[in-house]
Amino acid sequence: MSRVLIECVPNFSEGRNPEVISMITKPIIDSPDVDLLDVDMGYDFNRTVVTMVGEPEAVLRAAIECTSIAVEMIDMRSHSGEHARMGAVDVVPFIPLRGSSMGECVKLSERYAESVSEQLGLPVYMYAEAARDSQRVRLPDIRKGEYEGMKKKMMSDGWAPDYGPSVFPESMGVTAAGARQILIAYNVNLNTDDKKIANSIASKIRTSGSLLRDENGDKVIGKDGNPMRTPGKFQSLQAAGWMFDEDTAQVSMNLLDHSVTGLHDVTETIRTEAEKLGYSVTGSELVGLVPLDAMLSAGKKYLGAPNNANELDLVNSAISGLSLNEFGEFVPQTSIIEWAISGGEYNE
């Protein structure tokens, strides 16, 4: 019988000190029942995304141990970076893979939150499928205000944490934990150093769209008292404009359901929107690992005769079409979840 497997993708607010990340990830490496599939450090973001896969109880233990080390090693009072953040351990999602369910992952996230809040005094908000309040389903809603505004936010009505103290711990900040489907973190780079260009494109494609403004540029307020929005093109998509480096703006995205909105869909739309503004796409990158189905779907879009192609043909077509090799080699054997778990094996 195959092992029951779940994935956990904790995000740590440290992307510049490899020694710190090495210490944080040591419990994963030391566990015989957990595989460390990826460690993606971002210097400008000052953030590291870690991907581990393994048996549920072993993954839970590793996540708790990594959190304990991280809050000791990372001091949020001196942290800065391009990516939005609210804590040393910013978010810890549990994701069902083989033989596991969303309900089981919700329970694991709750046990994680209970443990780290009791052991470390860490405030935890439950999000996604584990959310206990409608305004906490979306991670950006919880993170709004970021680390600098979280102390005041925690004291406002409706924003006491689900677990842990309501007193803001300045050195470690707060954490979000939850359960969700596989999320693809995907970034597309543009040949401009103007972040506004990336923001403009992001607002056109993301599900939440953009704020509706009148002829004076003021926000249009609806009957419910909230700002009105123009919906974006795609469903199940979060997007924002960031800087990849000082010379390169980036449309940074989370594809929440790649069967609804795929890698090819967003890439080609960004290319079109960039060209309208006089710019072009210079490459793309995947942060963490990607499910095989997402790459096969993109490969079928780019390959002329997909019916006769094997998995590797389709993946190579996706890599080329998405420009994944422009800023560094994309290694499918270690970057695709199913292939990484199987030691790099794929179907001919």
* Residues 160 and 22 occupy one common structural domain: yes
Q: Which of 279, 319, 252 is nearest to 190 (CA)?
A: 279
Mean pLDDT for the stretch of residues 64-86: 95
* Residues 174 and 189 occupy one common structural domain: no
Last residue of a domain, one of 179, 205, 231: 179
The alpha carbon dihedral of 62, 22, 184, 242 has a sign of positive
Domain limits for position 160: 6-179
Is there a domain that residue 249 lies in?
yes
Q: What is the pLDDT of residue 49?
A: 94
Asked whether 212 and 203 are in contact (CB, 8 A), the reply is no
Residues near 329 by beta carbon (within 8 Å), at least 6 away in sequence: none
Helices (H), 178-276: 195-205, 263-276
Mean pLDDT for the stretch of residues 42-53: 93
Say if residue 257's pLDDT is above 60: yes
Report the CATH number at residue 284.
3.30.70.670
Give percent of the chain with pLDDT exceeding 70. Answer: 98
Predicted confidence band at 347 (pLDDT cuts at 50, 70, 90)? low
* Residues 148 and 62 occupy one common structural domain: yes
Q: What is the pLDDT of residue 211?
A: 79
User: 211-244 pLDDT, tens per residue?
Assistant: 787 777 777 787 777 887 788 999 999 999 999 9
Predicted confidence band at 61 (pLDDT cuts at 50, 70, 90)? very high
Q: What is the pLDDT of residue 220?
A: 76
Predicted confidence band at 348 (pLDDT cuts at 50, 70, 90)? low
Last residue of a domain, one of 124, 155, 179: 179
* Residues 115 and 224 occupy one common structural domain: no
Predicted confidence band at 260 (pLDDT cuts at 50, 70, 90)? very high
CA distances from 82 to 247, 249, 293, 335 (A): 14, 12, 30, 24
- Quick one: how far is CA 311 from the chain centroid? 26
CA distance 16 to 39: 13
Is there a domain that residue 346 lies in?
no
Q: Average per-residue pLDDT in the chain?
A: 93
Span between the terminal Cα atoms of the chain, in Å: 24
User: 145-198 pLDDT, tens per residue?
Assistant: 999 999 999 999 999 999 999 999 999 999 999 999 888 999 999 999 999 999
Say if residue 120's pLDDT is above 80: yes
Count up the domains in the chain and report the number. 2
Indicate the burial class of 184 (C-beta count within 10 angstroms; 0-12, 13-18, 19 or more).
buried
Half-sphere CA count of 338, side-chain side, radius 13 A? 12
- Quick one: how far is CA 138 from the chain centroid? 12
* Residues 89 and 213 occupy one common structural domain: no
Is there a domain that residue 347 lies in?
no
Query: The tokens of 246 are what?
Result: 């000082």
* Residues 157 and 140 occupy one common structural domain: yes
DSSP 308: G
Say if residue 251's pLDDT is above 50: yes
Asked whether 165 and 121 are in contact (CB, 8 A), the reply is yes
Asked whether 39 and 90 are in contact (CB, 8 A), the reply is no
Query: The tokens of 257 are what?
Result: 């359901």
Report the CATH number at residue 68.
3.30.990.10
Q: What is the pLDDT of residue 216?
A: 75
Q: What is the pLDDT of residue 1?
A: 43
User: 285-326 pLDDT, tens per residue?
Assistant: 998 889 899 999 999 999 987 778 899 999 999 999 999 999
Q: Which residues are catalytically annotated?
A: 83
Q: Taking phi first (over 0 means left), then psi (-120 to 50 degrees means alpha), and beta for anything else, what does residue 278 get?
A: left
Q: What is the pLDDT of residue 340?
A: 87
The alpha carbon dihedral of 337, 343, 347, 348 has a sign of positive
Is there a domain that residue 50 lies in?
yes
Q: What is the pLDDT of residue 344?
A: 62
- Quick one: how far is CA 258 from the chain centroid? 13
CA distance 257 to 143: 21
CA distance 301 to 295: 10
Facing residues of 12 across strands? 48, 89
Last residue of a domain, one of 145, 179, 213: 179
Say if residue 345's pLDDT is above 70: no
* Residues 150 and 296 occupy one common structural domain: no
Query: The tokens of 291 are what?
Result: 């499910």
